[in-house]
Structure formats: structure tokens, C-alpha cells
Structure 1
Amino acid sequence: MITTSGLVEVPNLSHVHESRPNTTSAYLQAIDLEGNHIKRIPAHALRVHAAQVSLNYNLIEEVPAYAFKFAQISKLSFRGNINLKRLDDNAFAGNLVLRQLDLSNTAITSLPIKGLEKLEVLKIEKTPSLKYIPSIYDLRGLKEAHLTHHFHCCAFAFPDRHDPARHALYELYIKELKEKCSQNEESKSAERRQRSLEPIRLTSQERIQAAILGTSLEDDESTATTSEDDSPAQYDFDYSGDISNEDDTFTPPVNITNNAVIEMSECGNFSARLRIVNCTPLPDALNPCEDVMGWTWLRASVWFVVAAAVVGNLAVLVVLLANRSELTVPRFLMCHLAFSDLCTGIYLFMLAVVDLRSYGEFFNYAYDWQYGAGCKIAGFLSVFSGQLSVFTLTIVTLERWFAITYAIYLERRISLGTAAKIMIGGWLFSIHMAGLPLAGVSDYSSTSICLPVKSASVEDVVYQGSLFLFNAVAWVIIVVCYVQIYRSLGGGGEKYGGRAAAAAAERRIANKMALLIGTDLLCWAPVAFFGVTAIAGLPLVDVSHGKVLLVFFYPLNACANPFLYAILTKQYRRDLINLIARSGRCNWLVERYKLAATPPATAHTQPSTPAPLVPLVHYDRSHSQISKENGELL
């Protein structure tokens, strides 16, 4: 034990066993060099026989090739070497008895497999830099694995997807072994039947061999019976980690060269069941062993949602920005709404592309995706677009309510400059909320869909709660404003003297308002409800089922808003026709629109036809109602 002594290099311990001629029985129980300043491991410095070697909490940066050649070490630990980044491919080569390896709290990015074939316990905890874990076909003796990432344990649970090439060879080997053992069993059965019918006759060569070996016919019979019925012995070194007495020695594995024995051993111990590795941390609700989209039908559906969100919002942006000369407050707000919803479509597009590329083996790509720039960008777009969309919808609703409530006060309208200042505040708020997970509040890398669902601290819970609270307050404001708008327009056809046209117009307005409120409710309510239950510690849905909400409810506004607020309005169609007319193409479509938009003949266009008299009070109310319905506000 040389601990906390300022060593900068591993001392040469290769001469420890020279005083005892029988090196196979000489061993050290432990070599403890913990807490020093060791930076390098010289070649052959640890050519020892030891139960345990501890190099914990040093300054080791690299383990060179063949650092433990000719050594026999059962347990090796590098825990706490935060500067350890590189392990040579042959770092552990030559150590035939390594059973436990601890690389926790290091900065390694890969794990070599040479020399770890007999490894039973592997510890790589709190090492987020490790990208890839070898398969169970490389770590053939592994029984326990204590790792950092959930998706690494998926590699042991699904070896067919983690390493398809090696698994195919394994399946081929199992198939051939089954056929081989079946043929051997048939031949042995036929031989036993033949022996039962005929007396045993040995050839002269067999008799000479039996005489040399000192065996008789009865010995041969008993040997044959034993070899057929008894299970073969296991030739392997097994070390539990604790030295109980001085008789324990390191026994190297026995190399069996007799093909008949190998064949008998394989058939006697034959099992097609894969080895089970006890791995932690196990896949949980946030990180299941599945692809990004999970189900096949969800994988197909997300592309339709992406197409609707991207195409619809791009169409709105192109038409509105092409008519910048007629920019008004509603159009200005519609541009911001379309851009925020377009970001939601881009976020889903990124998830769909990653799911397509990693189909069937996402855990092999999980590190590069979840801890790379892609997931951070996708998560930022998701939160940013969600908050900016909610903020813009609230401002749009408030602007409509203000314009209709104070319709006769033209000087009280929201100016374009005021709307620009408000939206600058909305952008700053959305960027701030989307940037907090990048600064350490919650985390975009906690799940494959890159949402800040991690709630490990009070700051995480406060952050998530503020997101849901903002959405809830915004929805309440929207509902209250639309109810006030509806009440200001009248409340029924009876206020228009029972006129059917006015009642029908009011019903259309009520249906449109109900559709706007309903889409907002379907979009926010499920996500908010399950999010609040998760924050409270009682999650009612895991990530696997939460992806249904992500595809069909979360982007509902992004798909519906461009149609409800722009594409289905008369003003948008007029702007689109003007854009087509300026391009000089599709003139037939422009002429058709002009014919459809030409109003029918009335008393104003044909004076010979007298117009019916309408009371002034009813005319004013009806005229105000029609102008509100056909204008940009509604």
C-alpha cells in the first residue's frame, strides 16, 4: 500500500515474485496505489500475480498497449482518474485472469475487448463520455455490468440488433452445433444397439493400445459409459475476489486439444439460450429500449404531420412576405405564428429522420444523437416554437378582442410599432425558456425525443411547472377573449329581428371560435395534464405512449393554425391570387377567381330594381356585422 504519497509513476513491481521459485503459487492480495499523482504506467511495471490492483484517483491519462502483459490480476480498478481518456486496443492484452474491471469516473470514449474475454464484472459508472459498449459476443464471460447510460444495457438485452453480424454467426454456429450433436447422438445410439447384439471384438491394434494403457475390456466399457452419461468437467479459472487461505493459487485455463472431448463438452453443455447479463441502470420510462418513434404506424404517421406543418406554414409565410406592401398588424402577427409553427414541423422532421436512420438499432446511435448537437437543436426548436406559438396566439386573440370591442375608436387600435415591441418581448421570452436546458436547468439529453422532461432537482421542477403554467394562463386568456368577442357580436338571431341571414352569420362565427378554442385545448390539455402528473411524481404515461401525444396532439396547432388563421380566409386567397398574377402564370386561375369574386347585381348596380327599405338601426347593426365577418379580424 503506497497511498497519497505523491508518486508520479507506477513503481516497478515485476521483481516481487523472484524470491519464490514457484511463481504460480506466489501472489499478492492487493496492490494499492490510490490517491497519488501517477500519470503513466511503464511497460511491464505491473507484471505481478495479485488479487487486486488499485490505481484509483490518480492523474493517469492513457493506458498503453500491453501494460499488464504476463500479469495475473483478478481485479483492476482505475476509478476516479478523470484525465483518463484513451485505452489502447491492446491495453489489457496478455492478462488471462482479469475478472473485475472498474473504469468509473473516467473520461474514456471506448472500451477495448482484447484481454477481457474472461471478464465477469464491469463497472463504468458516472462516465458519460463512453459512446459504445462491446457486445456479449466480445465479453463472453460477463455476468454483471454497472454502466452510465440506460441505452447501453439495451445492447446486452438485444444482441441481435446491437451486433447483427456477430449474432448471425452465432445463430449459424448454433444451427450447425444442433445438427452435429443430433448426428452424434444417432451414431452413438446405433453403436449401442450394435454392441448389445454383438460381442465386443478388438482389433490387434486396439489390443496393443489397451495393453500399453493398462486397460481391459471392462475398463473400456466403464469409460464409455462414463463419457456418455456424465457431464464433462469445466476447465476454467474461477476466482471470487477474496483470499481465504494460502493454498489458493492462480490456475491458468486448461487448453483442451482433444477434438473428441471438445465435441462431447459442447454437446453435453449445449444451450441455445443467450446469456443474461445483470446490467444497471435498467431502461426506464424515459429511456426504453426502442426506436425514436417506437411503433411502425407512428413512424409512418409522423411524416404526414411533418408535411402538413411544414407545407402549410411555408405557404403562409411565402404569401404574406410577398405582400409586404400591405403589411398590417394581423398579417405581422400571422408571420410570427407561421414561423413558430414551422419550427415545430422542423423539430418533428429531425426526429423522423433520426428514427429512419437508426431503425431497429437506435441504442447504437443513442449517444451521438442524445448527447450531440442534433438533439440540443431539436429540443431548443421544440420549446422555442411551443412558447412563441402560444405567445403569438394570445396576442392575436387580444388584438382581435381589442379591435372588435373598440371598433368605433380607430385611434385605439394597436399600431404596427406596438405589435413589433410586443413580439420582441415574446421572442426574448421564448429564447430564454428554450435556452435554460442548455444552461443546465433540466436537460434535452434525458430522452430520445429531446424534451426537457428531467426533473432531478427543484430547479427542474420549477422550470417545467412554469412552462405548463404559462400555457394554462394563455389558454384561459384566449377562451375569455373569444367569449367576449362572441357576446359583443350579439348572442343570437333574435337580436337581429329574427333575420335568418344574421343568425346564420353568427352561427358561423361561433363555430369558428369553437374550432379555434377546441384545437388549442386538444393541443395543450393532454400534454399539460400528463406533464403536471409527471412533475408531481405520479406519471400516468411513459415516453413510449407519450410519443402518441407528441405526434398527434403536440403539433396539432402547428398543422391547424395556418389553415384556421390564414389559408381558409378570403384575404389570404386574394393575396395568393395577386402573387400568381404578378408572376404572369396561371392566368386562367386569376380570371376564374375574378368571376367568382364579382358580386351579383343589386339595387346599387341596377337602379331600376328598387331596394327594400330597412330600418336604420337594423341596417347599421347588419352592416357592422357583415364587415366584421368578412374583414381580417374574423
Structure 2
Amino acid sequence: SFSSRRLDANHINYVPPNCFNGLVSLRHLWLDDNSLTEIPVQAFRSLPALQAMTLALNKIHYIPDYAFGNLSSLVVLHLHNNRIYSLGKKCFDGLHSLETLDLNYNSLDEFPTAIRTLTNLKELGFHSNNIKSIPERAFVGNPSLITIRFYDNPIQLVGKSAFQHLPELRTLTLNGASQITEFPDLTGTTSLESLTLTGAQITSLPKSACDQLPNLQVLDLSYNLLEDLPCFTACKKLQKIDLHHNEIGEIKADTFRQLAALRSLDLAWNKIKIIHPNAFSSLPSLIKLDVSSNLLSSFPVTGLHGLTHLKLTGNHALQSLISSENFPELKVMEMPYAYQCCAFGACESHYKISSQWNKDENSSIDDFHRKDAGLLQIQDERDFEDFFLDFEEDLKAHHSVQCSPSPGPFKPCDHLFGSWLIRIGVWTIVGLTFTCNALVSATVFRSPLYMSSIKLLISLIAIVNVLMGLASGVLAGVDASTFGSFAQYGAQWESGIGCQITGLLSIFASEASIFLLTLAALERAFSVKHATKFETKSSIASVKIAIFFCFMLALIIAVIPLLTGSEYGVSPLCLPLPFGEPTAMGYMVALVLLNSLCFLVMTIAYTKLYCTLEKGELDNIWDCSMVKHIALLLFTNCILYCPVAFLSFSSLLNLTFISPEVIKSILLVIVPLPACLNPLLYILFNPHFKEDLGSLRKQTLLWRRSKHASLISVNSEDIEKQSCDSTQALVTFTSASISYDMPTSNSLMPSSYQMTESCDLSSVAFVPCR
């Protein structure tokens, strides 16, 4: 005689009525993974001793009445992964010993009321079907039920008394019942230890919920719409509470009072603004607390001395530092800001954070999608012991606090700049930027000489360079004012409006400078080609329109981070970093590509310009100094931009050989360096600066002399000389207007140009290319 028979995976589509005759001692029968379309009722009538049978993974679509009528000894029946859409009302009659019934992964449209005859049923599974409702008193004939699994059904209605009077029920799991709005009445179901009702629309819990569940150890009500919580004091055996992804706004003093056995509490992804100072004061066993992604601005520490796992990340309003003295046992923590890890000995260090959080975070979501019925074993008492032993073993392996996010060069604990070399460099750049650009702007705008379009562009570049210097100066000021204690102010600084404005100014100034330089290069190239036509009113108006578009484009680019997640606050440097979030990396790469295109256009324009000069058109260049100056600016800015471009593309390609310290140095020193070099090159090498400065000095002397002359009387000779001097200033202005980018042909020279000879004055000298 046989005690078991394996007939699985044989493509069997028919079982003869008498095939099991004589196997009266057969206890286990495997017919799974075949092609059966119906229950072989007649064949099973000769198996009175059968205790376990699986018909899973077949094509059965209907179970008729009395299908297992003679299997009175059957204890386990697996019918999962079939196509069953209907059950006869008496299909399970005769299964007096059945304890486990698996109907998972079928096509049932209605609740299987035929189970009411299974008085000894202990484990029932019918998840992943199409059942839309569970009727009142659904399990009235199953008082021995210990576990029910029916998640992943489109359940819209659950009778309020559906789960009443199930004194042996230990586990109740209902996931994905999106239409449930009320908490079920569990009167008489006093042995329940694990209750999971996730993915529903329950908005409140009855105040008597814990009175009905005195033995509850695990409560999972995640992914609901809970707004208020009752007092859980009566659930004295609770060890784990999951309430993440709800609408909870406040934790009161008595919500979790006297839950001496509670070890894990998950309140993540809610809208909690207030936690009472004593909300956790009576939880002596609590070792894991997750209140991440809420709206907290303060966090109570009373009663949390035994905490080993703490998660506060995502509470962006929680910016104050938390003292490590309040958490002597803490081993793993996640904070909103890296600066808050400084108090736990994590200064400038990089830790590998425990994967315990990730495992817990994914557990509830994974439960939605499990396809194997055997994988959904809800933890019993022994599982709970193993679960918490894993915590303890993990803690023994680590002796220091693992804090995330870790501080580093971009999240410093003590000093924003980090080194004196960077600090001195930034202050030097700021000083030179303000001084040199102010000097350039003053000489151009205040000079009595004619201001051509190229000088207008030079002066505007100087103005935007001042904005870059201002942004760097703000960072230098923050570094100085928080010297040695930056962690106390880091979170407030990088999330405040000051950091946003600083980042906006920096990006706007950088982009506007590049766009204006591109326009200047194109203007020089065009002026050389059309030397006799360029300085007309219409062409100057075109340049001014182009300048307007340059500023508008730079402003739009600078505003984009504010509209896409406030990327300026990703670091205290107030700049979108070339690593981290995909949006920030994409923004930086797009910025680098755009700027590289500008440099390419400038290079091509000047290459064509010099090629033209080599062909014998040297005589058309009347202002060689400006052509050379723009070429020098192009070369300098392009060289200085190469490290920034390299950083962005290396981050895109995941090249990690560049240390964060080097990246920080480039962002603080190299990026603003053109703002001080551009005016310095103009002051040192461009003859126009000396001319403008001399004219400005003469104008100042004239102004002082005329002021003095108005106070005292002068003789006629002095008056005549003063008149001549005034004529000099006027003629010099007119002379410069004509000589700029235009040939000195007599036909184009107005009579005012020759007036300089009457006062023995010389016009402005421009050096031609030779």
C-alpha cells in the first residue's frame, strides 16, 4: 500500500473514476501542475484515509456539490492558482476534518459561503480573487479559524459583523480593500494577535477597539485615511504598531500611554505637526520609532532613553539639533539634515547605514504583490522573538551611532568653507570683484567719451560680475558668522530664503556673463566685417534688444531650480550640485551643454575673424584693442569653465575619482573667478580704460573748476580759456563717436570733428591692428 502518490507536472487532463481503487491507505496526493478542468469526484470516493491533497495549478473552473464527500479525513486542501469562478453551496460537505483550505489566485466573484460547514477549519486563504463583498456573519460556521487571508480582492463592502465571534482567530489580514470605510466590529474575536487592514479608506477607529482586542500584539493600519487616533491603553500586549501613510495630524499624551510591551512604532508619512511632550514617556520597551516624512517642527525626547532605532528624516521644519545625551542606546538613526548627525560623533565621516530600515519599509508593499501562498506566513509568537532578536544581533555588531545623512564637505559640522586656503581665496576674489568691476563700470558710464555697443557690453558684464561677487561675499559672510559652529545654523541657512536668493544671483550672474560675452564676440566679428556700417542707430538698437534677451534667458535659467524642488537648498553653498537627485544632475548637465554651445559659437566666430584678418583685411579694424580684449576674455573664461564642465559630465558617467573637497574648491573658487579676472584684464591690458579714466579725471577737474568759477569773478582771458576747455570735452566726445569702428573718411566726418584744432586738442587715439 502507498501512503503518498506524486502525480504533479504530468499534463494530466482526466482522472479515471476507478484509478485509486485499492489505495485505502493513501494519505497524501499531489495532482498539482496538470491540466485538469474539473474535480475527479468519482476517483476521490475510494480514498477515505486521505489527509492532504493539492489540486493547485490546474484549469479547474467549478467545484460541484459534494465534490469531496467521502474525504472525511482530509486535513489540508490546496486549490490555488486555478480558474475557479464558482462554488457549489455544498461543495465542501463531508470535509469534517479539514483545517487548511487554500483558494488563493482564482476567479471567485462571490464569497465562498460553502465554508460554513467546515467547523474545524483553522486556516483559510482566498486572496487574489474577484470577491467584492464579505457578507454579515460570513464565518459563523467556522469558530476554529485561526488565520484568514483575503487581501488583493476588489472588496467594496464588509459586513460589520463579518468577523464576530471567532474566538480562536489569531491573524486577520485584509490588504487592498480600497472601499472599506469603517473599522470592523470584532466582538467575540478576543484572541486576535495580528490585525492588518491596509490600503482601505478607514478614517477613524472606534474608542472600544482595544476593549475587543485585549491580546492584540501587531496592528497594521497603514495606507488608510486615519485622522485621529483613540487611546490604545487597553491593548496592553501591543508590540508593533504600523500607522504609516495616513492623515494623522497630532499625537496626544494618552494615545500610547502605558503600552509597556510596545517595541516598534511607525508613524511615517502622515501629517503630524504636534507630538505631545509626554506622548512617549510611558513606553519603556520602545526600541524603534519612525516619524519620518511628517510636518514636525519639534520632537519630544522624554521617555526615549531605550531607543535604538530612530527615523526623523523628511521633517524639513525640524531644524534644531538633538542632543545625544537623550539617546544613550541609540544605534541607527536617520535625521532631516546631516548637521544633526554632528552631535552623534558623525562629523565629516561617512557611514554605511543599516539596511534594516529598507527591509521594514518595503515589507508592507511587498505583501501586496506576493504570488506564492506559502510566502504569506504571518509571524507567530516565535517569529516575533526572531524579529526582535535580529535587532539585538544587529546592535551588538555596531558600537557607534550610524547616522544618516552623513556630514561631509558639503554638509560640514564646523566650518562652511572647510579650509583657510578656500577662505582666503574667496575673500580675495570678493574684494577684487567689487573693486575692479566698480572701477570698470564707473569709467565706462561716467566717461564723457562716446560709449559704443562693445563698451556697453563690457560695462554690463562688469555689473553682472558684481552680482557674482555679491553671492560669493554672502557665503563668505555666512562662513565668518558661523565659524566653528556651522552645524547649529546649517539647516536654517540652506532652507532659508537667503540661500535661495544667493543661488539665484550666482546662477543668473554666471549665465548672464557668458551670454553677454557671446554677444560681445559676435558683435566684434560683425563689426570687423561691416566696419563702415555697424555703428548706426539701428544696429545699436539691435544690440540692446539682444542684451535684453540675454538677461531674460539668464533669469529664466536661474528661476528654474526654484520651480522644480528648490535645488538651491540642496547644500549650504546654495548651488545645484552636479550629483545627487536626477533633476539636479539633469539641470547641471543641460546648463553645461548650453554654456559649452556658447563657447563653441564664440570660438567659431573668432576663428573666422582671424582667418579674415589673415586674408588682408587688417585695415578694416579701427579698434584692435577691443577685438584682442574679447579674445582674451574668451580664452580665460573658457579655460576656467572646463573644470565645471568636467565635474558635471564625470558625475553623469559615475566617475568618483574626484574627491568632494576638490569639487567644493572648484565651486567656491573657480566658478566665481571670472568675475574678478574679467575686469582685471580690462584694467591691465586695455588702453580704453586709461583713456576713459583720463577723460573722467579731466571731467572731474572741469566740474570743480566751473564750480569754483561760479563763486568768484574771473577776467576775460580766464573765461575764454574755460570756454575752450569746455569745447575740448564736447569735441572729444564727438570725435570718439566718429572714430569708433568707422574709417576716417572726410565724407563721414562732421564739421565738429575739425573743431579740436581750434583749441589745439587731440582726439582719442585708437590703436589699429598691425
Q: Do the structures match in fold with TM over 0.5?
A: yes
Paired with 1:530 and 1:76, the residues of 2 have a C-alpha distance of 43
Paired with 2:498 and 2:235, the residues of 1 have a C-alpha distance of 45
SS of match in other structure, 2:262? strand
Q: Percent identity?
A: 25
Structure 1 residue 403 corresponds to structure 2 residue 534: no
Residue aligning to 2:568: 444
Residue of 252, 275, 278 corresponding to 1:87: 275
Q: 1:454 to 1:330 in 2, by over 3 A?
A: closer
Paired with 2:416 and 2:410, the residues of 1 have a C-alpha distance of 11
TM-aligned CA deviation for residue 392 of structure 1: 0.6
Residue of 227, 243, 246 corresponding to 1:55: 243
Q: 1:413 to 1:37 in 2, by over 3 A?
A: closer
Q: 1:631 to 1:557 in 2, by over 3 A?
A: farther
TM-aligned CA deviation for residue 58 of structure 1: 2.9
Residue aligning to 2:202: 6
Residue aligning to 1:425: 549
Residue aligning to 1:352: 476
Q: Which runs of 5+ in 1 are unaligned?
A: 20-26, 162-240, 251-273, 497-504, 588-594, 599-625
Paired with 2:644 and 2:702, the residues of 1 have a C-alpha distance of 44
SS of match in other structure, 2:263? strand
Contact 1:56/1:81 (<8 A) preserved: yes
Q: 1:50 to 1:517 in 2, by over 3 A?
A: same
Residue aligning to 1:104: 292
Contact 1:68/1:93 (<8 A) preserved: no
| 1:587-634 CA distance string (max 9 Å, x none) | 9xxxxxxx9xx9xxxxxxxxxxxxxxxxxxxxxxxxxxx999826999
Contact 1:442/1:460 (<8 A) preserved: no
Structure 1 residue 576 corresponds to structure 2 residue 687: no
TM-aligned CA deviation for residue 558 of structure 1: 0.6
| 1:523-543 CA distance string (max 9 Å, x none) | 211211222212222244344
Residue aligning to 2:16: none
Paired with 1:31 and 1:118, the residues of 2 have a C-alpha distance of 22
Paired with 1:135 and 1:523, the residues of 2 have a C-alpha distance of 43
Residue of 227, 240, 244 corresponding to 1:39: 227
Contact 2:240/2:264 (<8 A) preserved: yes
Contact 1:306/1:348 (<8 A) preserved: yes
| 1:15-40 CA distance string (max 9 Å, x none) | 689x9xxxxxxx74223444454333
Higher fraction of helix: 1
Residue aligning to 1:153: 341
TM-aligned CA deviation for residue 10 of structure 1: 6.2
The one-letter amino acid paired with 1:570 is: K
The one-letter amino acid paired with 2:673 is: L
Paired with 1:632 and 1:76, the residues of 2 have a C-alpha distance of 82
Paired with 1:518 and 1:35, the residues of 2 have a C-alpha distance of 58
| 1:42-74 CA distance string (max 9 Å, x none) | 567467342123333332211123543333143
SS of match in other structure, 1:398? helix
Residue aligning to 1:365: 489
SS of match in other structure, 1:630? coil
Q: 1:13 to 1:465 in 2, by over 3 A?
A: closer
Shifted more, 476-485 versus 302-311: the winner is 476-485
Residue aligning to 2:404: 280
SS of match in other structure, 2:382? coil
Aligned residues: 479
TM-aligned CA deviation for residue 245 of structure 1: 9.6
| 1:331-385 CA distance string (max 9 Å, x none) | 3212321121111101111211222222233333222122221222121111111
| 1:226-277 CA distance string (max 9 Å, x none) | xxxxxxxxxxxxxxx99439999x9xxxxxxxxxxxxxxxxxxxxxxx9611
Residue of 562, 566, 579 corresponding to 2:679: 562
Residue aligning to 1:530: 647
Q: 1:554 to 1:2 in 2, by over 3 A?
A: closer
Contact 1:347/1:381 (<8 A) preserved: yes
Q: 1:577 to 1:73 in 2, by over 3 A?
A: farther
Paired with 2:383 and 2:597, the residues of 1 have a C-alpha distance of 72
Paired with 2:769 and 2:235, the residues of 1 have a C-alpha distance of 84
Contact 2:207/2:231 (<8 A) preserved: no
Residue of 248, 258, 263 corresponding to 1:70: 258
SS of match in other structure, 1:436? helix
Contact 1:153/1:282 (<8 A) preserved: yes
Paired with 1:82 and 1:108, the residues of 2 have a C-alpha distance of 10
Paired with 2:670 and 2:538, the residues of 1 have a C-alpha distance of 32
SS of match in other structure, 1:550? helix
Q: 1:321 to 1:148 in 2, by over 3 A?
A: same
TM-aligned CA deviation for residue 401 of structure 1: 2.4
The one-letter amino acid paired with 1:152 is: Q
Contact 1:441/1:460 (<8 A) preserved: no
- Counterparts of residues 166-565 of structure 1 (less than 5 Å): 243-244=381-382, 276-283=400-407, 287=411, 291-323=415-447, 326-409=450-533, 415-440=539-564, 443-453=567-577, 460-486=584-610, 515-565=632-682
Contact 1:52/1:75 (<8 A) preserved: yes
The one-letter amino acid paired with 2:490 is: A
SS of match in other structure, 1:59? coil
TM-aligned CA deviation for residue 289 of structure 1: 5.3
The one-letter amino acid paired with 1:393 is: L
Contact 1:446/1:454 (<8 A) preserved: no
| 1:489-529 CA distance string (max 9 Å, x none) | 6699xx99xxxxxxxx99x8998566434422332112112
Q: Which runs of 5+ in 2 are unaligned?
A: 1-194, 350-378, 389-397, 708-724, 729-761
Paired with 2:635 and 2:606, the residues of 1 have a C-alpha distance of 12
TM-aligned CA deviation for residue 121 of structure 1: 0.9
Contact 2:203/2:226 (<8 A) preserved: yes
Q: 1:548 to 1:59 in 2, by over 3 A?
A: closer
Q: TM-score of the superposition, structure 2-length normalised?
A: 0.54
Paired with 1:633 and 1:124, the residues of 2 have a C-alpha distance of 67
Paired with 2:212 and 2:704, the residues of 1 have a C-alpha distance of 93
SS of match in other structure, 2:241? strand
TM-aligned CA deviation for residue 429 of structure 1: 1.0
SS of match in other structure, 2:403? strand
The one-letter amino acid paired with 2:333 is: A
Shifted more, 482-491 versus 337-346: the winner is 482-491
TM-aligned CA deviation for residue 118 of structure 1: 1.1
Shifted more, 295-304 versus 477-486: the winner is 477-486
SS of match in other structure, 1:386? helix
Contact 1:66/1:92 (<8 A) preserved: no
The one-letter amino acid paired with 1:345 is: G
SS of match in other structure, 1:77? strand
- Counterparts of residues 117-132 of structure 1 (less than 5 Å): 117-132=305-320
Q: TM-score of the superposition, structure 1-length normalised?
A: 0.65
Q: 1:8 to 1:98 in 2, by over 3 A?
A: same
SS of match in other structure, 1:122? strand
Paired with 1:420 and 1:372, the residues of 2 have a C-alpha distance of 36
Q: 1:35 to 1:554 in 2, by over 3 A?
A: closer
Paired with 1:39 and 1:306, the residues of 2 have a C-alpha distance of 53
- Counterparts of residues 22-37 of structure 1 (less than 5 Å): 28-37=216-225
Q: 1:385 to 1:94 in 2, by over 3 A?
A: same
Contact 2:204/2:229 (<8 A) preserved: no
